[in-house]
Amino acid sequence: MNEHLLFEKKEIYIHEQPKEELINGPLIEPEKIGGRLQILKNKNGSFLRFLPYGLENVVSDDWAFVVNNSVLTYSKDSNSGESCTFENKQNLNKYKHQFEFNELSSVRRIYQGYGIPCLVFMLTDGRTLPNLYFYKGGSKEFLQELSSYFVFKKDVTDPRLWYVQRQNSEQFKQSLYELSLFNEQRENVMKKFLNEPVQSTLLGFSKVTNILRDVIKPSESASKSQFYVNDFKLDIPNPGDDMSDLMDSLVSDNIHSVPNDGYEMVTKVDLGPMPTVDRGPPVQKEDLIFDKEGRLFNHERIKQMIFRGGIQNELRITLWKFLLNYYEWDSTAKSREQKRKIRVEDYFRMKLQWKSISDEQKNKFSLIKERENLIEKDVQRTDRTHPYFESDDNVHLVEMKDILMTYNMFNFDLGYVQGMSDLLAPIMVIMDNEVDSFWCFAGYMDKIESNFLMDQLNIKLQLSNLKALLEFFDSKFSHYLEKNESSNMYFCFRWILILFKREFSFPDINRLWEVLWTDSPCKNFHLLICISILLMKKDDIMTNNYGFNEILKFINDLSGRIDLEKTLKHAEGLFLQLQNFKNVPNNIYEIIGFPVTEKNEELIDESRLLIPRSSSRESSAKLSPSSSFKSLSFKKDDDSVEVLN
Amino acid sequence: MSSQTRSGSGGGGTASASRTCQFKLVLLGESSVGKSSLVLRFVKGQFHEFQESTIGAAFLTQTVQIDDTTVKFEIWDTAGQERYHSLAPMYYRGAQAAIVVYDISNKESFHKAQTWVKELQRQASPNIVIALAGNKLDLANKRAVSYEEAKQYADEHSLLFMETSAKTAANVMDIFTSIAKKLPKSDVNEQASRQSQNRSGVNVGGANQNQQGTSGCACK
């Protein structure tokens, strides 16, 4: 094989989280795939490989095609042409990972879960290897071993992250790089300096004093830039103005510094500290109070509780019907019974409409035939790893088709669009009943139908709103995306279209959706969730210098790796920051549905700074849907954004 | 074990006699014809019977060795449904290669493939290399599009053509390799020295998006 083993560390594990967990409950123990982590060398150079136990002696049969992160083994069978022989090894093979050293972009050493150290390798093309757990220790030693092949540089914002510094032959670039004044592509440095002297210089200065984060706010008009320092707004007439004044104004009491692992971390606070948000327990049966006519007496409080902690799994079958407009919140038991009767009749009436189309008729009804084909194909491949849909000839697959076909009759103008089956699947698992699933699905579609319209305008609007929010919360990252052709935020398309369905496990998506269905604490809260994930991951993107392709790949690959509770807390923290900050631009208020009339501006000025402290709760209640927070308490904490892992 | 093909993205640190070319390739075709499955087979050697539909787009990379040249494909896998058609130009813009996929057991998907070819020839880069893939060859007993018909169409429109099966892996490697062979690997000495400096995590792929409306590869 012409490979030389240079270094090996055994007892390394990959964790495979059980993909579908049926219940919310204690975390199911992940499957652990053990193996060895090797540094090897062949004629093309050095590379790193994780080799699962059991694959040690697998020699490629006829010819092996060693690729970036996997090995394909083909054998030429003279009778049947090319066929694959890896079927039996396939299960293990998917855990085999390797990359060439020149593909490594960064490595992070973290302590996950029970304090087991693990290494996370990120590559230049946007891939992230699964966490490699060092159960028997030795991650530090491994990094030390690696450091004989690379020049690692510790990231200034994240002391657990080392990125690979490449040798650069051109002296000029090299010197710039070693000074580390400029993070971005070196070719652009001078050009950028000429175009944006203020920003470039500040960026450079910020490196000299180590970090000066979030210095530059976006200029709201072409002629002047605004800098927010705490609550003071500085209007800078023109880029290129007196630099020393600007620096003086920035390096002032309004900036506090905290020691951070040998680096001095200078953080400019402009939105105030990120409030710490506590999440609550899921709603349980005991929390529901019905009056004597069966009205859910305390439904406002229940909604708040759902926002705060979700719903216990067994109770979802009841409460989702309220959240998805199957029943009115203030309905009586009797009216619900009547409503259900009508729902059942309506469903079967509409189902009969398409069921009764004869084959002959269908041949002359191309639109319905086309949609039926598409639905059938998608049903066959929607969440088939979930036990509820797993087996072939599964009655639930038939039900899924019937529900989607009936929805097509119910909303023929919209029809069936890919992504809908994703939205339906979790509802079916919870409802376990065709009619109820249909109407809950229809209620969900009412909320987000516009995501699926032909013109895609609503998706585009949401993406542009997302960009505006990002610009507000983190203009530096927003600027980075612009430079990397990603300002259309298209990499978030999947998140928004099907509301993170592909990003989370079933239990997590149940939780996330029920939180979103409460419409709390503001309009477009899902966009704050997007922002939250992006901010938690921005260092990965920026440190690795990812461009358009890599960003999309990186974001797609976050699927299954996002900590939902942490994200929900952080997103609510962002909301509270917006609520507390008084100089929020109107376009941001509009996105999250805060009133922007002058009258309200007064209220905002009085109340925002102190919310959610007790004295100002009442005034905030007048302003926005945040009234639902009256009974909740928050701790203020000087917390900074942490990187999720 | 007779031979081993070693591939890599080249560039940067390791000393390698071979050069590396980088191409953007996009997969297009009707929903559920097997675009993602072809890529998954090519990139990871895997096949999932129930490969989920692609929402938005996916990006993957894979390299093949052609003689002394390492060809790195940057592959854009797109969503197939008509509803998302308007997003496709974003992905085929600047692509040097495209695989238009249809399902040999589905006549309609072959028609759809033809409209994709038309669109590419009209709107994509003028020198784009287009391959037509008749996928699901494993379903030959349900064949609705004959080999001859597709081959004739491909010849008339100067397309590479192969019938493939992501499930059995038949012709999957071959179609990518054929494309790699057909792509112009221009002499790159100057480019090479310039671009190899960039590899310190700098996004070569992203930068190509703008630069390469025409032909030629990003060789290093």
pLDDT tens readout for residues A552-593: 999 999 999 999 999 999 999 999 999 988 888 899 999 999
Comparing CA positions, the residue from A10, A101, A104, A108 lying closest to residue A50 is: A10
- Does a structural domain hold residue B70? yes
Q: Which of B7, B78, B177, B200 to mutate to test the interface with A (most CBs of A within 10 A)?
A: B200
- Does a structural domain hold residue A158? no
Q: Which residues of B touch A71 (CB under 8 A)?
A: 45
A525-564 in b/e burial notation, b at 16+ Cβ within 10 A?
bbbbbbbbbbbbbbbbbbbbbbbbbbbbbbbbebeebbbb
Name which of A170, A422, A498 is nearest B197 (Cβ-Cβ).
A170
- How crowded is residue A117: how many other Cβ atoms within 10 Å of its Cβ? 18
Shortest distance, CA A373 to any CA of chain B (angstroms)? 10
Q: What integer is the mean pLDDT of A51-71? A: 52
Interface contact flag, B50 A163, Cβ < 8 Å: no
- Does a structural domain hold residue A643? no
Q: CA A572 to CA A6: how far, in whole Å?
A: 48
**pLDDT tens-place string over residues A497-539:** 999 999 999 999 999 999 999 999 999 999 999 999 999 999 9
Q: CA A502 to CA A499: how far, in whole Å?
A: 8
Interface contact flag, A168 B5, Cβ < 8 Å: no
- Does a structural domain hold residue B210? no
Strand B97-103 with B19-29, pairing? parallel
Q: Are A158 and A538 in contact (CB under 8 A)?
A: no
Same domain? A483 vs A588: yes
Amino acid at A552: L
Same domain? A222 vs A355: no
- Does a structural domain hold residue A422? yes
With H, G, I as helix, E, B as strand and everything else as coil, classify residue A272: coil
Contacts with B71 (C-beta within 8 Å, 6 or more apart), sequence order: B20, B21, B22, B23, B63, B64, B65, B180, B183, B185, B217
Among A414, A437, A452, the domain boundary falls at: A452
- Does a structural domain hold residue A627? no
Hey, which of A105-119, A250-264, B165-179 has the most confident mean pLDDT? B165-179
Shortest distance, CA B152 to any CA of chain A (angstroms)? 23
* pLDDT greater than 80 at residue B200: no
Same domain? A528 vs A414: no
- Does a structural domain hold residue B78? yes
- Does a structural domain hold residue B109? yes
In this prediction, residue B210 has a pLDDT band, given cuts at 50, 70 and 90, of very low
Higher-pLDDT residue of B189, A141 = A141
Backbone phi, psi, residue B170, to 5°: -60, 125
Residue A134: which CATH number? 2.30.29
Residue B115: domain span: 19-181
Same domain? A503 vs A601: yes
Q: Are A435 and A344 in contact (CB under 8 A)?
A: yes
- Does a structural domain hold residue A571? yes
Among A413, A432, A452, the domain boundary falls at: A452
* pLDDT greater than 90 at residue A142: no
- Does a structural domain hold residue A499? yes
| A390, closest residue in chain B (CA to CA) | B50
In this prediction, residue A100 has a pLDDT band, given cuts at 50, 70 and 90, of confident
- What pLDDT is stored for residue A238 in this prediction? 41
Beta strands in A565-634 (DSSP E): none
Q: Are A78 and A20 in contact (CB under 8 A)?
A: no
Q: What integer is the mean pLDDT of A213-240? A: 37
Rg (C-alpha) for chain B, rounded Å, is 17
Alpha helices in B100-195 (DSSP H): 107-123, 147-156, 172-182, 189-195
Among A254, A286, A307, the domain boundary falls at: A254
Interface contact flag, B9 A102, Cβ < 8 Å: yes
**Mean per-residue pLDDT of chain A:** 77
- Does a structural domain hold residue A639? no
Residue A201: domain span: 167-254
Name which of A106, A419, A549 is nearest B74 (Cβ-Cβ).
A549
Same domain? A338 vs A483: no
- Does a structural domain hold residue A230? yes
- Does a structural domain hold residue B9? no
With H, G, I as helix, E, B as strand and everything else as coil, classify residue A110: strand
Interface contact flag, A67 B62, Cβ < 8 Å: yes
- Does a structural domain hold residue B219? no
Higher-pLDDT residue of A404, A98 = A404
Shortest distance, CA B75 to any CA of chain A (angstroms)? 9
Number of structural domains found in chain B:
1
Interface contact flag, A100 B8, Cβ < 8 Å: yes
Hey, which of A49-63, A177-191, A421-435, A539-553 has the most confident mean pLDDT? A421-435
Instruction: Kindly state the tokens that stand for A397.
Output: 């697959």
**pLDDT tens-place string over residues B83-125:** 888 889 989 999 999 999 999 999 999 999 999 999 999 999 9
Q: What integer is the mean pLDDT of A108-134? A: 85
Residue A531: which CATH number? 1.10.472.80
Shortest distance, CA A391 to any CA of chain B (angstroms)? 11
Same domain? A607 vs A470: yes
Q: CA A613 to CA A178: how far, in whole Å?
A: 47
Name which of B5, B56, B80 is nearest A494 (Cβ-Cβ).
B56
Same domain? A233 vs A350: no
Same domain? A377 vs A447: yes
Of A124-128, A582-586, A599-603, B191-195, the least confident: B191-195
pTM for the full predicted model: 0.72
* pLDDT greater than 60 at residue A189: no
Q: CA A626 to CA A10: how far, in whole Å?
A: 53
- What pLDDT is stored for residue A325 in this prediction? 97
- What pLDDT is stored for residue B85 in this prediction? 87
Interface contact flag, B200 A377, Cβ < 8 Å: no
Element (H, E) at B134: strand B129-135
Q: CA B41 to CA A73: how far, in whole Å?
A: 11
Of all residues in chain A, what percent carry a pLDDT higher than 90?
Answer: 48
Residue A381: which CATH number? 1.10.8.270
Instruction: Kindly state the tokens that stand for A520.
Output: 């709390």
Instruction: Kindly state the tokens that stand for B92.
Output: 């085929």
Of all residues in chain B, what percent carry a pLDDT higher than 70?
Answer: 76
- What pLDDT is stored for residue A158 in this prediction? 75
Residue B72: which CATH number? 3.40.50.300
How many CB contacts within 8 angstroms connect chain A with chain B?
A: 217
Interface contact flag, A124 B201, Cβ < 8 Å: yes
- Does a structural domain hold residue B23? yes
Same domain? A441 vs A462: no
Q: Which residues of A touch B56 (CB under 8 A)?
A: 490-491, 493-494, 497, 556
Q: Which residues of A touch B59 (CB under 8 A)?
A: 126, 549-550, 552-553, 556
* pLDDT greater than 60 at residue B170: yes
Q: Are B178 and B162 in contact (CB under 8 A)?
A: yes
Same domain? A543 vs A561: yes
Interface contact flag, A60 B44, Cβ < 8 Å: no
- Does a structural domain hold residue B199? no
Q: Which residues of B touch A64 (CB under 8 A)?
A: 1, 4-5
Interface contact flag, A165 B171, Cβ < 8 Å: no
Q: Are A269 and A239 in contact (CB under 8 A)?
A: no
Of all residues in chain A, what percent carry a pLDDT higher than 70?
Answer: 69
Element (H, E) at B162: strand B160-163
Q: Are A466 and A477 in contact (CB under 8 A)?
A: no
Shortest distance, CA A520 to any CA of chain B (angstroms)? 27
Same domain? A98 vs A78: yes
Number of structural domains found in chain A:
4
User: Would you list the DSSP string of A536-577?
Assistant: HHHHHHHHTT--HHHHHHHHHTTTT---HHHHHHHHHHHHHH
Q: CA B196 to CA B202: how far, in whole Å?
A: 10
Same domain? A43 vs A11: yes
Shortest distance, CA B107 to any CA of chain A (angstroms)? 13
| A386, closest residue in chain B (CA to CA) | B50
End-to-end Cα distance, chain A: 36
Higher-pLDDT residue of A626, A390 = A390
